[in-house]
Amino acid sequence: MNVRITSNLGEAHSLSVRRMSHAHAAGDVHPTVHPHASLAYYEGGRAEFWCGATYSTRAGDLVLVPEGMPHYTVTADDASVVGLSVCTSCLASAPGGHLAAAFHAVSEGAPAVRTVAVEDRDRVRDLFLALEAELARGAPWHALAVDGYLAALTAHVLRADAAVDVPKGASVSARALAFITRRATDGISLNDVAAHVHRSVAHTGAVVKAETGRTVVEWITNARLAAGRQLLLLSDESIENVGARIGFESASHFHRVFKRHHGVTPAEWRRVHVDADQR
């Protein structure tokens, strides 16, 4: 089973809204992994959706998929969905922080599906569409308007009732990536991932590389850096503490890896992004 790596965000965008429909039962299932978080709202129809566990979704459900979490639609029956793709580490505002925390909770094992109260459903749908229109316009005070819509939408996410999940089987790659998403900042290695999926180190490494195009170590590093960017934006912790909290053995190691991936040091990245948010 191959895992597809796709992105719904443009090169310099932190938010994107899109609409989808799934009219028929899914055929050959391929888990998808995004380098960003996704929030999907089911306007109508129903579907069976896998994201670390299998959920039955229907109109009024919100699905939260953290960055790097494998997911796919198992079956669908005229499902109509509006989705928000989010670079959570790019959002330094209070609403962004609360939304990022909701995604993080899912990566830590919380249910990925929440059900919106009947009386709030029209409002939630309208917020997605208003956010879509605002992102397309780029009118004066654009950032303020986006923050307002995002704050209201996040409030509905936090108010919604969590669904009860029922775990089912998944491929070696899907289980490996889900484990990495949950545990990357604990200092895990390829050995830990292999032990979790009950396969040899060689087999786990080969399967993940063949099916995703990236090595287990690359996935672990990406997940750690995503958590690191979030801490750099939303906390005033020292660079040394940030590196330690996301699983790097030393501040110098964190510094080298971060600069190799982002072209700047953690301190420079924090200065640029925090200053940009305050302007």
Res 109: pLDDT: 67
pLDDT band at residue 25 using 50, 70 and 90 as cut-offs: low
- The burial class, CB within 10 Å (0-12 / 13-18 / 19+), for 67 is buried
**Cα 177 to Cα 180: distance, rounded to the nearest angstrom:** 5
Residues 132, 21 within the same domain: yes
Residues 69, 28 within the same domain: yes
- Ramachandran sector of residue 160 (left: φ over 0; alpha: ψ -120 to 50; beta: rest): beta
Residues 198, 230 within the same domain: yes
Res 59: pLDDT: 93
Which residue among 162, 194, 209 closes a domain? 162
| Selected residue with higher pLDDT from 82 and 279 | 82
Residues 37, 152 within the same domain: yes
Average pLDDT over residues 125-146: 89
Residues 120, 196 within the same domain: no
The CATH number given to whatever domain includes residue 132 is: 2.60.120.280
Residue 167 lies in a domain: no
Residues 197, 68 within the same domain: no
Task: Write out the residue range of the structural domain in which residue 24 sits.
Answer: 4-162
Res 166: pLDDT: 37
Residues 180, 133 within the same domain: no
The CATH number given to whatever domain includes residue 220 is: 1.10.10.60
Say how many domains are in the chain. Answer: 2
pLDDT tens for 253-272 read 999 999 998 888 999 988 87
Average pLDDT over residues 153-167: 73
Kindly write down the DSSP assignment for every residue of 71-124, as one continuous string. Answer: BEEEEEEEEEEEEEEE-GGG--SHHHHHHHHHHHHHHTT--SEEE--GGGHHHH
Res 29: pLDDT: 63
Q: What is the pTM of this model?
A: 0.62
Residue 43 lies in a domain: yes
Please name every residue paired with 64 in a beta bridge, in sequence order, or none if there are none: 39
pLDDT band at residue 74 using 50, 70 and 90 as cut-offs: confident
Residues 85, 133 within the same domain: yes
Which residue among 99, 133, 162 closes a domain? 162
Which residue among 162, 195, 226 closes a domain? 162
Residues 143, 194 within the same domain: no
Residues 130, 236 within the same domain: no
Residue 233 lies in a domain: yes
Residues 55, 130 within the same domain: yes
